[in-house]
């Protein structure tokens, strides 16, 4: 999931179509190839983790068609499952996993219809109860019992529901979706839809040019990231491709309009809610609505982080996860 902040700013003006807005971005932001920041160098020493080949697992929950997900597994220790947000993919956790792998058996998944996972069979309902059922079957197939579950946005909401179902030994949710008012949901949906349309209309070469400079990366992802200029070009381009190619994008948005997405408490399960203080997609005050439902939840602000804190501050996010999963300070 990534946002073209400049595209959105133009697309929100009355009388402009998405195609006209994309044309504006091409004319004003892609006047030629920007200067490179230097081969192999990224600001602030960001490490680019090379992509790894996916493995695949099939979960068969009772009464459902099988669900297949792509995943990567690394490290040793208590199992920890990582769930990404809408329009994203498992590589969202690429800079965080190496910081967790010494303490945890980490499993980063592509949700169905995102990344390399095939979309759900049309007969499989796209609701949260069903997601919990097939994820439970996937956990069983992977031979993990009550893993720690960490989720971002859509993945954070699913992680909370897994905790309610007794399928997680701890839950860490980064800006979980679903704790919005009607107006906030419509705002978030409009931003995400405009972003996806913008990505689909911008030529690949334009995205590549923009991604090679800090200013271009800020134009591409400034609404999503708090420190967009620091995000490596490879990460920006991979994120935009994941958003563009997400087969389940529209159907997931439609499913999110139905009813109350979360209610009740999660007794007996440690819950951490972390939120970027610069989140422009799901404003950080929504964290207090989570706290009102789950009184024992620990709230952790992520200073200077936007909606995808894994890219803004991977070391901070890893530290929050390790604390939430009970890894002693100094052991990582």
pLDDT digits (tens, 9 = 90+) for 118-150: 999 999 999 999 999 999 999 999 999 999 999
Q: Could you state, in order of their start, the residue ranges of all structural domains in the chain?
A: 55-181+259-324
CB atoms within 10 A of CB 122: 9
Element (H, E) at 171: strand 170-174
Terminal-residue alpha carbon distance, the chain: 29
| Residue pLDDT, tens place only, 203-213 | 878 877 777 77
Element (H, E) at 29: helix 18-29
Lowest-confidence range among 22-26, 113-117, 234-238, 288-292?
22-26
What is the pTM for the complete model shown?
Answer: 0.84
Interval 165-179: pLDDT, tens? 999 999 999 999 999
Question: What is the sign, positive or negative, of the torsion defined by CA atoms of 94, 96, 102, 106?
Answer: negative
Q: Contact, 83 vs 149, CB < 8 A?
A: yes
CATH code linked to domain 55-181+259-324: 3.40.50.1820
């Amino acid at each position: 999931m990534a946002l073209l902040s400049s595209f959105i700013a133009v697309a929100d003006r009355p009388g402009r179509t998405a195609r006209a807005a994309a044309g504006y971005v091409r004319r004003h932001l892609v006047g030629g190839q920007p200067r490179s920041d230097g081969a192999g160098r990224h600001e602030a020493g960001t490490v680019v983790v090379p992509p790894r080949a996916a493995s695949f697992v099939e979960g068969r929950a009772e009464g459902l068609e099988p669900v297949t997900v792509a995943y990567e597994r690394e490290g040793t220790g208590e199992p920890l499952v990582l769930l990404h947000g809408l329009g994203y993919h498992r590589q969202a956790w690429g800079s965080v996993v190496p910081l967790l792998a010494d303490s945890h058996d980490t499993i980063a998944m592509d949700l169905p219809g995102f990344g390399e996972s095939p979309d759900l069979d049309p007969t499989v309902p796209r609701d949260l109860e069903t997601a919990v059922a097939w994820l439970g079957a996937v956990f069983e197939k992977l031979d993990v019992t009550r893993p720690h579950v960490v989720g971002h946005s859509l993945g954070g909401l699913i992680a909370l529901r897994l905790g309610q179902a007794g399928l997680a030994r701890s839950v860490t949710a980064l800006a979980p979706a679903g704790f919005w008012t009607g107006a906030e949901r419509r705002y978030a949906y409009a931003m995400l839809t405009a972003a996806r349309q913008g990505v689909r209309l911008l030529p690949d070469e334009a995205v590549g040019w923009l991604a090679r400079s800090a200013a271009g990366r800020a134009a591409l992802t400034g609404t999503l990231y708090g420190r967009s200029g620091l995000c490596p070009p490879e990460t920006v381009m991979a994120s935009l491709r994941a958003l563009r190619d997400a087969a389940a994008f529209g159907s997931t948005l439609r499913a999110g309009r139905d009813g109350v997405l979360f209610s009740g408490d999660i007794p007996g399960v440690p819950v951490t809610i972390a939120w970027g203080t610069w989140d422009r997609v799901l404003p950080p005050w929504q964290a207090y609505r989570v706290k009102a439902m789950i009184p024992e939840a620990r709230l952790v602000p992520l200073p200077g982080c936007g909606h995808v804190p894994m890219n803004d501050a991977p070391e901070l996010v890893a530290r929050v996860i390790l604390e939430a999963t009970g890894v002693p300070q100094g052991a990582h």
